[in-house]
Amino acid sequence: MAIRVLKPGLFTTIQDLGRPGYAHLGISPCGAADPLSLRIANRLAGNAEDTAALEMTLLGGTFEFEVDAVIALTGSLCDARLGGLQAPANTAWKVTAGSVLQFGSMQTGARCYLAVQGGFDLPVIMGSASTDVRGGFGGLHGRRLQAGDLLPTRESGAGNTRVLRQGALERLAGEGPIRVTRGAQQDWFGPEAFETLNSCAYTISDLWDRAGLRLKGEALHSLEPSQLLTDGIPLGAIQVPRDGQPIILFVDQQTTGGYPKIASVIAADIHRVGQLRPRQEVRFREVTISQAVQALREQKGLLQEIFE
Amino acid sequence: MLAREGNMKIVDASDSSLLLGFGDAISPTLHSRVISLFHALQARNHPGIRNLHPGYSSLLIDFDPLQLDHKGLAALVEQMADHPGPSIAGESVVTIPVCYDAELGPDLPDIAVKAGIASEEVIRLHSSAEYLVCFLGFTPGFAYLGGMPETLHTPRLPTPRKTVAAGSVGIAGSQTGIYPVSSPGGWRLIGRTPLRMFNPESRPPTLLQPGDRVKFTPIHRRAFDELAAREWA
């Protein structure tokens, strides 16, 4: 039993919570760009929260269900329609065999998630079903979806669907500037660079994907004349190439790199990076490591409380 | 053994990672400290540690900050650096067959001209040295190999190729490396190996690991074709 891809959308891949443990072999973590939305979609659909789901980008796809399925849509609102009727988001609902579910453009963010109760019947490679497009493995044939693809679904077990509490998503969403902590090469930058990063608005450029988001705005200049020896890159690191225009390195990032890292997006705000769109304005605010860890702890707590 | 001739610098690289720095140079001594600690941490297999990223002279530890904290991990790492366990350095040498045919290594003549030597001499030099896997990065299984004879040092191409075939052996600056998967790339190509450097289905998925030693053996085109057919079947 399967879901047939009639139109793939702009960039649709299978993602779960990623593939940690292989960075020393040059293998990126991959996984959902907005892991909170993925986890919520799975919990709504009655799945384990790390079950693989569809991640759609900017423009969603069109899918024909060859089987009855319980699904949940989360992330950006995207004008999803089932036979002309608005398809509900952020709740579990049943799609009957033969239905065609059509997604439009993302309206409130960059990505939406479609979780299917039972999950997709796809191979788990190195502990994850996530698509690694650069490595050409994982997901469905190691690539983004194409028209005509068949996504095999698993028998949905006796998964218990969940219901979100009123206002739960708003409390999780986060607002204001994206929070960052100082990065590995913080010594390479003077107070002016941090002042700039903390106060200026940046625009997300069109050079934007799961590997990195290139920003445009006030240049950040390193005071260090020498070149950095290639070192490891943490998820969400903000690296500064010669032109001073920062780049947020993201889930499909290379595991090592040779540009100085001024800062790093905090773990609790990574999901917000996954919803940033090209040409959108973004601001940053520096916090301490302990504030960042506290934010992550609070987020974890909230995630336990958002369902009825 | 972990040398203690220099201090290890520990920096909070993010709310979920520490960067351990051993110095600012590409040197076998600094690198051996990276690899020793990398092996020790791998053996330790701490559940809070998610990823280890060795570099030339640094090691990034990515961890779950709800399971481990920066100070605690830093203390653990310093203790491990002071009291290293038995070395499990890979002393074996991985031999990689390479066909240096003109078709598979289109930039070999350029390198010969720049170095002022014959193409055969490029092949002899490249395949006589022993290399060290400094780290892997760029794409799954892409090993940055140090130890290339200085005569062969050549800057990367001014404009990268849009596609480089899997198995291509290239040179960039003082480094040589092998493209494990087809990707864009700016290294100058001198040959190709029939071996699969990255196979997601294999355990481990990459032929090379950080700290491995590598030698290249020249093979003829016929041997390349036969081996490639078997390897990629």
Q: Does some domain include residue B195? A: yes
- Residue B65 to residue A296, Cβ atoms within 8 A: yes
A227 reaches B (C-beta below 8 A):
no
A211 reaches B (C-beta below 8 A):
no
Complex ipTM value: 0.96
- Residue at which a domain ends, from B82, B107, B141: B82
Claim to verify: residue B188 and residue B147 sit in the same structural domain: yes
Q: What pTM was estimated for this model as a whole?
A: 0.94
Nearest by CB to A135, which of B51, B65, B139?
A: B139
Q: A292: part of which helix (H) or strand (E)?
A: helix A289-305
Claim to verify: residue B203 and residue B179 sit in the same structural domain: yes
Domain count, chain B: 2
Q: Does some domain include residue B49? A: yes
- The CATH number of whichever domain residue B40 belongs to comes to 3.30.1360.40
Claim to verify: residue B131 and residue B179 sit in the same structural domain: yes
Chain B CB contacts of A294 under 8 Å are: none
- Mean pLDDT over the full length of chain A: 96
A12 Cβ partners below 8 Å, 6+ apart? Answer: A5, A54, A55, A56, A57, A60, A61, A144, A145
Chain B CB contacts of A255 under 8 Å are: 51, 53, 136-137
- Residue at which a domain ends, from B82, B105, B122: B82
Q: What pLDDT does A85 receive?
A: 93
Claim to verify: residue B55 and residue B134 sit in the same structural domain: no
CB contact residues (below 8 A), chain A span 48-107, against chain B: none
Q: Give the span between the Cα atoms of B169 and B176, in whole angstroms.
A: 7
Claim to verify: residue B150 and residue B53 sit in the same structural domain: no
Q: Which of the residues B36, B44, B51 would you substitute to probe the A interface, choosing the one with the greatest number of A C-beta atoms within 10 Å?
A: B51
For chain A, percent of residues with pLDDT exceeding 90:
93
Q: Does some domain include residue B187? A: yes
Average pLDDT over residues B135-159: 94
Nearest to residue B115, comparing CAs of B83, B166, B153, B78? B153
Nearest by CB to B137, which of A26, A136, A226?
A: A26
Q: Does some domain include residue B29? A: yes
Task: Name the residue range of residue B40's domain.
Answer: 9-82
- Residue B14 to residue A27, Cβ atoms within 8 A: no
Q: Does some domain include residue B144? A: yes
A173-305: which CATH topology?
A: Cyclophilin (2.40.100)
3-state secondary structure labels for all residues of A18-77:
CCCCCHHHCCCCCCCCCHHHHHHHHHHHCCCCCCCEEEEECECCEEEECCCEEEEEEECC
Helix, strand, coil % over all residues of chain A, rounded to 5 = 20, 30, 50
Q: Which residues of chain A are in CATH 2.40.100.10 domains?
A: 173-305
Q: Does some domain include residue B2? A: no
- The CATH number of whichever domain residue B180 belongs to comes to 2.40.100.10
Structure tokens at A166: 């009123």
Chain A CB contacts of B172 under 8 Å are: none
Q: Does some domain include residue B1? A: no
Nearest to residue B204, comparing CAs of B91, B90, B60? B90
Q: Would you say residue B4 has pLDDT above 60?
A: no
CB contact residues (below 8 A), chain A span 276-305, against chain B: 289, 292-293, 296-297, 300
**CB-side exposure of B174: number of CA atoms within 13 Å?**
10
Structure tokens at B159: 């404009």
List, for residues A229-264, the tens digit of each pLDDT value.
899 999 999 999 999 999 999 999 999 998 999 999
B59 reaches A (C-beta below 8 A):
yes
Antiparallel, parallel or unpaired: β B168-172 and B175-178: antiparallel
Are A251 and A23 within 8 A, CB to CB?
no
- Residue at which a domain ends, from B39, B58, B82: B82
Claim to verify: residue B216 and residue B126 sit in the same structural domain: yes
- Residue A237 to residue B50, Cβ atoms within 8 A: no
Return the higher-pLDDT residue of B218 and B27. Answer: B218
